[in-house]
Structure 1
Amino acid sequence: MIRIASVSLTVLALAACSPAENTAAPAGGIEPAANTGAAATPGAVERPIRIVGSSTVFPFTTAVAESFGARTQFATPVVESTGTGGGMRLFCQGVGGENADITGASRRMTASEFEMCQANGVTDIVELPIGYDGIVIANVNTGPELDLNRGQLWRALAAQVPAEDCTMIDNPNRNWSDIDPSLPDLRIEVFGPPPTSGTRDAFVELGLEAGAEEVHAETGCEIPEMAMARVREDGAWIDAGENDNAIVQTLANTPSAYGVFGYSFLAQNSDRLQAARVEGQDATFDAISSGDYPISRSLFVYVKRQHVGLVPGIEAFLAEFTSDDAWGEYGYLADRGLIPLHEGERRDVADRAANLRVMDGAPE
């Protein structure tokens, strides 16, 4: 009903202020949503929507951009994979035609990023959760299966771990079996996202910091907060850039290695990759959707409301993104590995997108 109302309003708005040749969508397409607020912003620019941000969200924003470009009279948006942190910096640079309109994030915007936006005049931000994702630890499916808890994961990847007397020492574990004889007798070699990545942030918080808490509970050793989050730099962990597809290809060429990336890349490569069990849970669609898989997180899109009316098509793009055809249970984004929000959540977020409701303060 929201989409039908938006389309009806759009016909009136376009008839009032658009050239005749732009008053209708192509046959079979969707019409742009109604403009929320006053007439076109002075200094409006004629360019495609520019989207930056997370490499995990990139396949989803790209799919919506391609569908949007094919089904409306607007140009196909330009989508760049810059990483969550890099996308936030670009998004928060300022308001105006030279700045990004939308950014994807594989974790929630931080309070410091919100403050950076505010300081640069980006004051009206619409936050849209778009679905769920799990962070997997995967290897080629011809290699050994990995079944571990987060404490073992932290012992494998932390820069420092507690010795028997609880003093913190440089991580001495070279093979997985050094941590527990039940784990593979293979050198610890994990390719993962760099510090600018939201996937890295979420992996550290949900995987490593939670694992450090497990080790604390097991040993009684006090673990400094910095040591909980610090990843080793001796070659056991390798920053592999913002391109998760490159990690997938590296695993194909390095059968003894593991990779850390989002579930969607596992789903797209299930013929050659397998994921580790974590805390006894397989990284499956259902386990991530329910939250049973312990390294699960939400994915987000952030929209600069001040660019509505400045850059053509933003509202129509959001209408496409929040349509059942796109993010619904059987939508084309689910085919690409996005785990949909639950139905009630989708209704709430679609209403937020249609009304362009802005964040009322910094995220907690």
Structure 2
Amino acid sequence: MLKQKLTLAVTTALALTGAAYAQSARDYISIVGSSTVYPFTTAVAEQFGKSNSSFKTPKVESTGTGGGFKLFCGGVGVQHPDVSNASRKIKKSEIESCAKNGVTDIVEIVIGFDGIVLATSKKSKPMALTLKDIWLALAKEVPEPGTGKLVTNPFKTWQDINPDLPAKKIEVLGPPPTSGTRDAFVELVMDHGCKEFPAVKDLEKADEKQFKKVCQTIREDGVFIEAGENDNLIVQKLAANPNALGIFGFSFLEENLDKIQGETINGVVPNFENIADGKYPVSRPLFIYVKKAHIGVIPGIKEFIAEFTSEKAVGDDGYLSKKGLIPLPAAKRKQAAADANSLKTMTP
């Protein structure tokens, strides 16, 4: 054990020494991760670059939450990113992957809230959806009407599911498995929608593994179309196809209200106020994760954290709220900023 610790310490020291010598190769902050958090981090990066003549504008790449953590956890040194955007909390398996590669001191920063919306073209008639409707539309297996027996999803139109919905073909454009939005959608929509059925809910106690499989497995018959990590592309496709629905973060709805509309879920409209006060059922916190070992080696990371957690960025009237970020309550915001700026690391 001692030998392993010494080896890890030496490896980390060598990586950092290498990073110090290679500053000429990278004298800017490298950020990867969530497509949902991408527009917020990009806005902060641009503001940071403008207001700090001592530092270069950070480079921000949209790789998806899962893809971002894979890169972030790859190791310590300039060849690895400094910051990872995430539209969900880091998983235990990802923390373990980080630790294996010497990434042990991680600063977790909650930047605000976001809602996941189901949106359609403004040319289409609004749909009043429920979590139950959405699960029935997208689950691979559903209870057979009358028997409750699980069968391959037979539903072709929204009206097949609910007589109050239109008789249009079910066609949903959504994020791939590497996306934090997909993880959050499964947790907040699919896991809740399936519990509306006693036959499925009873599985939770009898066989949790099977319960998760039934609730979380999305159909693969062409109804759900993985549209990649580019949420703007989904918006473009919705504008061109009035029959399709798209799944993405609230900020993309906010930016494109001239082309698309958010559908109500369980009777609640996806807007800033409803997400902020917790009425909207599909909302989640957003994060950035910072590699503490890179602070003091890559220039500007501490200053970038200060900009990202400032009231002018994430406050009630901050420039990120104008881009669709839902601010944390004032007390939580203050605590998050204090923890971030003191570089408080996650506990294992």
What TM-score comes out, normalization by structure 2 length? 0.90
Q: Which residue of the partner structure matches residue 306 of structure 1?
A: 293
Q: Which residue of the partner structure matches residue 254 of structure 1?
A: 241
User: Could you tell which deviates more after superposition, 265-274 or 76-85?
Assistant: 265-274
Q: Which residue of the partner structure matches residue 160 of structure 2?
A: 178
Contact 2:135 / 2:194 at 8 angstroms: preserved in 1? yes
In structure 1, what residue type is equivalent to 2:28? Answer: P
Distance 1:219 1:314 in 2: 47
Asked if 1:266 is matched to 2:253, the reply is yes
Asked if 1:231 is matched to 2:218, the reply is yes
Question: Secondary structure at 2:340's aligned position in 1?
Answer: helix
Contact 2:203 / 2:211 at 8 angstroms: preserved in 1? no
Distance 1:326 1:68 in 2: 11
Q: Which residue of the partner structure matches residue 216 of structure 1?
A: 198
Asked if 1:79 is matched to 2:79, the reply is no
CA deviations on 1:57-81 (whole Å, 9 max, x unpaired) are: 0001101001101110201100000
Q: Which residue of the partner structure matches residue 62 of structure 1?
A: 42
Asked if 1:114 is matched to 2:95, the reply is yes
- CA shift at 1:228, angstroms? 0.4
Question: Secondary structure at 1:288's aligned position in 2?
Answer: helix
Q: Give 1:163-174 correspondences, 5 Å limit.
A: 163=144, 164-174=146-156
Q: Which residue of the partner structure matches residue 318 of structure 1?
A: 305
Structure 1: give runs of 5+ residues left out of the alignment.
1-40
- CA shift at 1:215, angstroms? 2.4
Q: Give 1:7-156 correspondences, 5 Å limit.
A: 42-43=17-18, 44=20, 45-46=23-24, 47-72=27-52, 73-156=54-137
Contact 2:156 / 2:170 at 8 angstroms: preserved in 1? yes
Distance 1:156 1:135 in 2: 17
- CA shift at 1:297, angstroms? 0.3
Structure-2 change in CA distance of 1:182 and 1:317 (3 Å): same
In structure 1, what residue type is equivalent to 2:45? Answer: A
Contact 2:177 / 2:183 at 8 angstroms: preserved in 1? yes
Contact 1:166 / 1:221 at 8 angstroms: preserved in 2? no
- CA shift at 1:310, angstroms? 1.2
In structure 1, what residue type is equivalent to 2:46? Answer: E
In structure 2, what residue type is equivalent to 1:334? Answer: S
In structure 2, what residue type is equivalent to 1:101? Answer: D
- CA shift at 1:217, angstroms? 7.3
In structure 2, what residue type is equivalent to 1:347? Answer: K
- CA shift at 1:218, angstroms? 9.2
Distance 1:213 1:345 in 2: 32
- CA shift at 1:266, angstroms? 0.3
Q: Give 1:261-300 correspondences, 5 Å limit.
A: 261-300=248-287
In structure 2, what residue type is equivalent to 1:189? Answer: E
- CA shift at 1:126, angstroms? 0.3
Structure 2: give runs of 5+ residues left out of the alignment.
1-15, 205-209
Contact 1:58 / 1:104 at 8 angstroms: preserved in 2? yes
CA deviations on 1:208-258 (whole Å, 9 max, x unpaired) are: 111001223799787732010000111110000000000000001111110
Structure-2 change in CA distance of 1:168 and 1:310 (3 Å): same
Q: Which residue of the partner structure matches residue 175 of structure 2?
A: 193
User: Could you tell which deviates more after superposition, 140-149 or 96-105?
Assistant: 140-149
Contact 1:124 / 1:306 at 8 angstroms: preserved in 2? yes
Question: Secondary structure at 1:224's aligned position in 2?
Answer: helix
- CA shift at 1:293, angstroms? 0.6
List structure 1 runs of 4+ shifted beyond 6 angstroms.
Answer: 217-223
Structure-2 change in CA distance of 1:217 and 1:150 (3 Å): farther
Aligned with residue 319 of structure 2, among 325, 332, 335: 332
In structure 1, what residue type is equivalent to 2:276? Answer: S
Contact 2:119 / 2:246 at 8 angstroms: preserved in 1? yes
